């Protein structure tokens, strides 16, 4: 692993499929190296955007998750404050290393985080890129992308639950990332022997 990078597992909870028309409700981050527990974690619950409208299908799903809904609707912060705090946390946690966004699936979480960073902070410490855990799983399992799921990745997963609480999910997904990264490196070493 590059000593100049730190892997930031990020999870978001939202009230719909796209930022702008819908809101990011919470963001969780967990900073990981190749081994060991998270170096640091971040959590924020955000006020909904004033001009956004919650998606009916997403809200129907939230009604099946009352505990998670309650947890993401307490201690709300304005999006500007939450995202500035997130960037400050990234700066402090990175300590000169490049933060690499890690998500499952990265396409969803990064879409919201990048949009919020640009809108409320004016820049993204992650630049334009994100590392997708599902794609790494595809490489380790040697299968097609659509064949990868939390079920097929279970041998590499964490023992933690997935409670749909952003910071807890970020930690769980970061541990999955670490396990897949180690498996990928072991496969590469085995192929070289």
Task: Say what the pLDDT of residue 134 is.
Answer: 96
Task: Say what the pLDDT of residue 2 is.
Answer: 62
> Considering the chain, what is the average pLDDT of its residues?
95
Task: Say what the pLDDT of residue 34 is.
Answer: 87
| Confidence category of residue 159, pLDDT binned at 50, 70, 90 | confident
Q: Is 148 exposed, middle or buried (0-12, 13-18, 19+ CB in 10 A)?
A: buried
Q: Tens of pLDDT along 112-151?
A: 999 999 999 999 999 999 999 999 999 999 999 999 998 9
The residues near 57 (Cβ < 8 Å, ≥ 6 apart) are none
More confident site: 188 or 30: 30
Known catalytic residue at 162:
no
Question: Which of 109, 164, 175, 181 is labelled catalytic?
Answer: 164
Residue 180 CA, chain-centre distance (Å), reads 16
Written as one string, the DSSP assignment of 128-160 is T--EEHHHHHHHHHTS-GGG--TTTTGGGS-SS
Q: Tens of pLDDT along 49-66?
A: 999 999 999 999 999 999
Q: Which domains does the chain show, CATH number per domain? A: 5-183 (3.30.420.10)
| Confidence category of residue 188, pLDDT binned at 50, 70, 90 | confident
Reported pTM: 0.95
Task: Say what the pLDDT of residue 158 is.
Answer: 82
């Amino acid at each position: 692993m590059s000593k100049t990078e730190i892997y930031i597992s990020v999870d978001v909870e939202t009230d719909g499929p796209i930022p702008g028309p819908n809101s990011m409700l919470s963001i969780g981050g967990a900073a990981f190296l190749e081994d060991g527990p998270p170096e640091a974690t971040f959590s924020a619950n955000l006020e909904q955007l004033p001009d956004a409208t919650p998606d009916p299908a997403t809200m129907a799903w939230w009604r099946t998750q009352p505990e998670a809904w309650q947890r993401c609707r307490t201690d709300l912060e304005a999006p500007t404050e939450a995202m500035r705090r997130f960037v400050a946390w990234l700066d402090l946690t990175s300590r000169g290393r490049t933060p690499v966004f890690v998500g499952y699936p990265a396409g969803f979480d990064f879409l919201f985080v990048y949009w919020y960073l640009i809108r409320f902070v004016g820049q993204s410490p992650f630049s334009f890129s994100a590392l997708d855990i599902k794609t790494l799983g595809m490489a380790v399992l040697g299968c097609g992308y659509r064949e990868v799921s939390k079920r097929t990745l279970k041998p590499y997963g964490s023992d933690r639950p997935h409670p749909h609480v952003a910071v807890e999910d970020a930690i769980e997904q970061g541990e999955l990332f670490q396990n897949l990264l180690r498996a990928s490196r072991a496969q590469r070493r085995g192929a070289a022997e």
